[in-house]
Structure 1
Amino acid sequence: MSTGAGGDRPRALSLRSQRAFRALEAVQLANAVAVWIHVVSVQWVLTERGESASIISLAPAAMAVPFLVLSLPVGVVAGYASRKKMMALATTTSALAAVAATALTVTGTDDALPMILSVVLVGTALVVVGVSWQSLLPETVDRRLIPTAALVDGAVFNLARSLGPLLAGFGLGFAGAEWAFAVVAVLSVGCALTLWRMERRSPDRTSTRRAIMPEISGAVRFVANSAWTTRLLFQLFLFGVPSSALWALISLAVHDRLGMGADGFGALMALIGAGAVVAVVGFGGLRRRLRVTVFAACGAFVYACALAVLALSTSSVVVAVAMLFAGAAWVSVQSTWMSMGHQFFPDWVRPRLIAFILLMFQGTQAVGSLLWGVVSDVAGLQAALLTAAGFMLLSCLSLLVVGLGAETGIEPVLVSELGGPAPQPETATGEGASGAGTTGARGSGPVLIRYEYRVPEHRRQEFRSAIRILRRSRLRLGGRDWRLETPAGDPGLFVESYRVSSAEEFAEQERARLTVPETRLRHRVESLAASVAGPRVEVGVPASRGRRGPRSSRK
């Protein structure tokens, strides 16, 4: 896969022939513009009503809250349902929320609670559209075009970030809030009709319905047992909380410190979006030259400086320049999380982990917005923005010192895609076993997987270290109750066992989930053993049996 300019250009040109991609990107642009018009309009209405900073900060927080509740369930449903139908229903919901907001402003009943609830509906729709689209993207374009398509998608999203606040500012300044909400309703209806028409002409591929809670539990186990994923979410958290201060408090800074009206507020928000678009278009070369964590740390530092300028300066020109840089820094760091996820998350769990990223990021925006609103009420607007800038510098240092761990050699290429053989179980034994191999185990419920390693004495300590790393791989792929045991009187024999929910899932682990990086961990353990026996599938083994055995050497 070429990464140079010469390789990217033909791909970018070839996207023009992807009609479904172009149509869906147009829907994405219109929907995102509508969302930003709605949220910015509500935020400004609350500001003009003289609401406190805590109430005003609820507008961006309310858009983020649905991500906390719905991201993971929507990620599971998007794995088997029609994504276009889900997006159509979501944009219909946005239209209804905009109609309600229009009615509230026309009748003069635009109190804080109903306006915030309208943002909650828009946020709910945004969750469904975002997760569905990320799940649909690999099926909309050729797999080789996904990196370029993701870049274009990012540019479109940030173009909406520019157009939405700008249109909101002009609409609020020249026509009033009711007309701004009416435009949102029209755009959302147009998106819904387009998606319904696309679904009728080309129905989505769907698959067998899966239970939501077990799928969510599997994603949680993957995150808990993937150090790289955990570190990614940690860095996202450190950036997300202080970055939310800008979105929560900018309307107050514009109104109270700069003395600007709705049109000036819209112009500054548009500059943030314009900076984001400039970063997507112009920072590609810088991103390729720098390590990912260094690139993200530079963005965090620039963002911290922009927050400090917003806190200290009363010059509209200086603040405008700072907001342009803030937009560029925002998209530089924010796009890092999603691009790393697309690059390193395995296909079988990617929709759920992308939902995890969206949940974490929007969650930090929700919690952070409320936090900075309260800090502003208690300590003042300046103190809140400067404190956020200080925490952003902490994020910058963490990216430089802690980083993300490995950035190469962990690409999730399936062994089956390279023609590698899947491990074959030796036998299926135990109480209730109906035959050898996984065929006899079909439909039998939980199974116990066993491996036996004969390890020379001089390699045993190294073996224990290697198999502790392999343990996390087993659990990532879906194993449970992992144990390592050494029979009494035979210190050279190590028995590894773990439980899987069914023989079918074990077969899926070995054929559809086993990647080259995971296989390297297995080869490392096997290279330290004189002999290896397994995998051995035991069917019908009571849960207590998996916990019995000789002396355990688990550490």
Structure 2
Amino acid sequence: MAEAGADRPGAGAALRVRAFRLLLSVQLVNAVAVWVHVVGVQWLLTERGEPATVVALAPAAMALPFILLALPVGVVVSHAARERLLVRAAVASTLASLAAAGLVATGADGAVPLLLTVLVVGGALVVVGVSWQSMVPELVERALVPAAVLLDGAVFNMARAVGPLLAGIVLGLAGPLQLFAAISAMFAACVALLLLAGTPTATRPGRTESVPAAMRGALWFVRHSPWTTGLLVRMIAFGLPASALWALVSLAVHDRLELGSAGFGATMAVLGAGSVAAALTLGPVRERVRVHTFVAVLAGGYALTLAALGSLDALGVLVPFLVLGGVGWVAVQSTWMMLAHQALPEWVRPRVVALLLMLFQGTQAVGALLWGAVADVLGVGPALLVAAAVLAAYSVVLLGVGMRSSAGIEPLLATPDPAVEALVGEAGEGELLVRHEYVVAAAARDDFRRAIDALRLSRLRTGARSWEVVPDPERPGTWLETYLVRDRDLLREQETSRLTVPELRLRDAVRSTTTRSAGPTLILAPPAEPHRRPASRRRRGGRA
């Protein structure tokens, strides 16, 4: 979590879980195939002498589907059979790589059609990534989640190293047609393994809202969860400058180091070695230091990698810096995912994880275009140095600002109140106005104000709208809390599947400042209510 924690089981313990081990193997093969495809296209564009902006479109094309599809896929994953989604995504990737092979065989392998195949592979990767990340907490127990996420990050970055290496070897020994044929076989192997594994995940409830409404609900949750917002902002601020490495590494190897495909593969292999080293060694370190210190130090090391790649011209000298970059990349990115898995409640976790993946890949896409454009103007070396300076500044700022503590945030469900459940069941159809009454002594008003402010965020992030607290003009010392809920189904979820122990503590904190409390009272909202609702942050009548 955000603070140093107790010792937790290491990577070996997570690998002893058979289902996790099997699906992690599938994830490795799939990710290797993805990166062979993407880097193969990127290297073909590089060797043809395409501008840096066009070359950078290869990683951008893989990231674009995350921007467009991750959040709706997260909604679907919340209720669908995730293992079936994995199979369908692997089939789509197989077809895309076969299409790339066909393009090469017929001589129609221009930049646009090749990049379109990357788009399809990227779209399939959205489904795989969101489904897999949502399955991790179901496959391993809570104590093993940090190790499992670190292993997953290492696997993805190992694939990022092995993929270019395989691409370089096959391109050098055979050619692009054989390369894409091999990728097709790898994706097909993933389909076969998933069908043979048949690993069912937990049964999930049916959807009670439309996909657009569920997407808005995820964004509404993030807006009213300061901890989640802070996590996403820090992830984006790291990802934008860090993306310069992946956008420009092929150009740096080709133009600055003057190496061929084998040298490019070796460079990526060294980066991958750093990723594996991070998975094997950094878990215990992360548990013993504050998260913001851990991230800031490794971000600083990653900045050194960017600076070295932009200024040194010998691969042998670059090796330790490349290892450091691999360590920093997987350690920082897996930290964001670990925190999300540990803190977010189940009802919203797949959607927020999808949003996290969307923003992560979005920063990669935007960053790839940005640093490609900078390299076209300034050159590859200066562009990498600029990115290094930005990332170094991020590291310094993070050390000073820190991160909001996640202490007390956990996805543990509270015990619902049967009386409230019964009341919700008797409510009418349509939008509901929910009202609570609090009697507050004058001496406790400041404490009540602080507690009700925290409860306001809780009500809103679990789905309420138009929250306000006002004094009752007819009863001095009595305060009325009201908010709107879409319908009784959502209210039932608020009082059951969305009611975690931390959210319940916020309610208890408000009650502890009162001499008497009552509610909820449910009132069917009139149809004309929406156009005259009060603002969601409104508090009237002075200080509570």
Regarding TM over 0.5, the answer is yes
Which range moved further: 73-82 or 521-530? Answer: 521-530
Equivalent AA in structure 2 for residue 439 of structure 1: G
- Once residues 539 and 152 of structure 2 are traced to their aligned partners in structure 1, the CA distance between those partners, rounded to angstroms, is 55
Secondary structure (helix, strand or coil) at the match of 1:8 reads coil
- Alpha-carbon deviation of 1:491? 4.3
Task: For 1:230, give the aligned amino acid.
Answer: T
- Shift, 1:543, TM fit: 5.1
- TM-score, normalised via structure 1 length: 0.91
Whole-Å separation in 1 of the counterparts to 2:144 and 2:290: 23
Q: For residue 376 of structure 1, report the CA deviation from its aligned partner.
A: 0.9
Q: Does the 8 A contact of 1:423 with 1:535 survive in 2?
A: no
Match of 2:506 among 513, 521, 535: 521
Name the structure 1 match of 2:457.
472
Partners of 1:356 and 1:245 in 2: CA distance: 22
Q: Which amino acid aligns with 2:61?
A: A
Does 2:308 match 1:285? Answer: no
The answer on whether the counterparts of 1:452 and 1:496 sit within 8 Å (CA) in structure 2 is yes
Alpha-carbon separation, structure 1, partners of 2:400 and 2:502? 25
Partner of 1:86: 85
The equivalent residue for 1:46 is 45
Distance 1:495 1:208 in 2: 34
Q: Take 1:463 and 1:202, find their aligned partners in 2: how far apart are those partners?
A: 47
Q: How many residues align?
A: 536
- Answer yes or no: is the 8 Å Cα contact 2:227–2:406 preserved in 1: no
Give aligned-pair identity as a percent. Answer: 48
> Residue in 2 aligned with 1:208?
206
Distance 2:300 2:275 in 1: 16
Query: Structure 1 residue 391 and structure 2 residue 390: aligned?
Result: yes
Task: Output one character per residue of 1:366-417: Cα deviation in whole Å (capped at 9) or x when no partner.
Answer: 001001111111222222111111111122123212222113222232222x
CA distance in 1 between counterparts of 2:96 and 2:153 reads 26
Matching residue of 2:302: 303
Given that 2:420 and 2:495 are in contact with CA atoms closer than 8 Å, whether structure 1 keeps it comes out as: no
Q: CA deviation at 1:158?
A: 2.9
Greater CA deviation, 484-493 or 302-311?
A: 484-493
Higher relative contact order (CA 8 A, sep 6+): 2
For residues 8 and 425 of structure 1, the distance between their equivalents in structure 2, rounded to whole angstroms, comes to 40
**Partner Cα distance (2:491, 2:297) in 1:** 44
For residue 184 of structure 1, report the CA deviation from its aligned partner: 0.7
Structure 1: state its 5+ residue gaps. 427-435
Aligned to 2:434: 449
Shift of 1:15: 4.7
Hey, what does 1:324 align to over in structure 2?
Answer: 323
1:297 deviates by 0.5
Contact kept in structure 1, 2:19 and 2:139, CA below 8 Å = yes
| Superposition map of 1:289-368 within 5 A | 289-368=288-367
Partner secondary structure for residue 409 of structure 1: coil
Q: CA deviation at 1:459?
A: 2.5
Query: Residue type matched to 2:9 in 1?
Result: D
Per the TM alignment, residue 221 of structure 1 is displaced from its structure 2 partner at its CA by 0.6
Query: Is the 8 Å Cα contact of residues 484 and 554 (structure 1) preserved in structure 2?
Result: no
1:99 counterpart residue number: 98
Q: 1 CA distance for matches of 2:186 and 2:425?
A: 53
Contact 1:471/1:482 (<8 A) preserved: yes
Larger CA deviation: 170-179 vs 366-375: 170-179
Per-residue deviation, residues 191-222 of structure 1 (Å, max 9, x unmatched): 112223444x8587454245211111111110
Q: Post-superposition shift, 1:19? A: 3.7
Matched residue, 1:505: 490
Structure 1 distance, partners of 2:241, 2:374, is 12
Specify the code of the residue in structure 2 equivalent to 1:440. E
Please, what TM-score do these two structures have when normalized by structure 2? 0.93
Question: 1:242 is matched with which residue?
Answer: 241
Is 202-211 or 459-468 further displaced after alignment? Answer: 202-211
AA matched with 1:437: L
Cα separation, partners in 2 of 1:203 and 1:345, compared to 1, 3 Å: closer
1:218-276 residue CA offsets vs partner (Å, 9 max, x unmatched): 11110000011101000011001001100111111111111000000011011111101
User: Which residue is 1:159 aligned to?
Assistant: 158
AA in 2 matched with 1:312: S
SS of 2:219 mapped into structure 1:
helix
Q: Give distance in 2, aligned partners of 1:143 and 1:408.
A: 16
Q: How many angstroms apart in 2 are the aligned matches of 1:254 and 1:14?
A: 36
Could you tell me which amino acid in structure 1 is paired with residue 231 of structure 2? L
- Which residue is 1:430 aligned to? none
**312-321 or 115-124, which deviates more:** 312-321
Equivalent residues of 2:135, 2:201 under 8 A apart:
no
Q: Using the alignment, how far apart are the partners of 1:177 and 1:125 within structure 2?
A: 22
Contact 2:82 2:201 (8 Å CA) reproduced? no
Cα shift at 1:489: 5.2
CA distance in 2, matches of 1:142, 1:340: 15
SS at match of 2:118: helix
One-letter code of the match for 1:509? Q
Contact map agreement 2:469 2:539 (CA 8 A) in 1: no
Cα shift readout 1:507-529 (whole Å, capped 9, x = no counterpart)? 22122212222222222222222
Q: Tell me what 1:431 maps to.
A: none
Q: How far does the alpha carbon of each residue in 1:277-298 deviate from its partner, in whole angstroms, 9 at most, with x for none?
A: 1011011222122111100101
Q: 2:505 aligned with 1:531, yes or no?
A: no
| CA 1:4–1:408: 2 relative to 1, 3 Å | closer
Structure 2, gaps ≥5 residues long: none
What SS class does the counterpart of residue 356 from structure 1 fall into? helix
CA RMSD of aligned residues (A): 2.5
Matched letter for residue 499 of structure 2? L
In the alignment, is the contact (CA less than 8 A) between 1:300 and 1:329 conserved in 2?
yes
Q: Is the 8 A contact 2:244 2:367 kept in 1?
A: yes
Whole-angstrom CA distance in 1 between matches of 2:406 and 2:201: 37
Tell me the distance in 1 between the aligned counterparts of 2:441 and 2:42: 68
Q: 1:14 to 1:250 in 2, by over 3 A?
A: closer
Letter in 2 for 1:208: G
Q: Give the deviation of 1:493 after TM superposition.
A: 1.6
- C-alpha distance in 2 between matches for 1:276 and 1:65: 24
Matches of residues 419-458 of structure 1 in structure 2 within 5 Å? 421-422=416-417, 424-425=419-420, 437-441=423-427, 444-458=429-443
* CA displacement at 1:554 relative to structure 2: 7.5
Distance 1:543 1:226, change over 3 A: farther
Secondary structure at the aligned position of 1:513 is classed as coil
The residue that corresponds to 1:8 in the other structure is 9
Task: State whether residues 64 and 363 of structure 1, in contact with CA within 8 Å, keep that contact through their aligned partners in structure 2.
Answer: yes
Q: Which residue of 1 aligns with 2:137?
A: 138
Cα distance between partner residues in 2 of 1:277 and 1:507: 45
Tell me the equivalent position of 1:484: 469
Please give the secondary structure, in 2, of the residue aligned with 1:437: helix
Letter in 2 for 1:522: R
Q: 1:198 to 1:280 in 2, by over 3 A?
A: closer
In 2, Cα distance between equivalents of 1:205 and 1:466:
36
* CA distance in structure 1 between the partners assigned to 2:413 and 2:201 by the alignment: 28
> Whole-Å Cα distance in 2 between the matches of residues 129 and 122 of structure 1?
10
What's 2:179 paired with?
180
User: 2 CA distance for matches of 1:110 and 1:146?
Assistant: 43
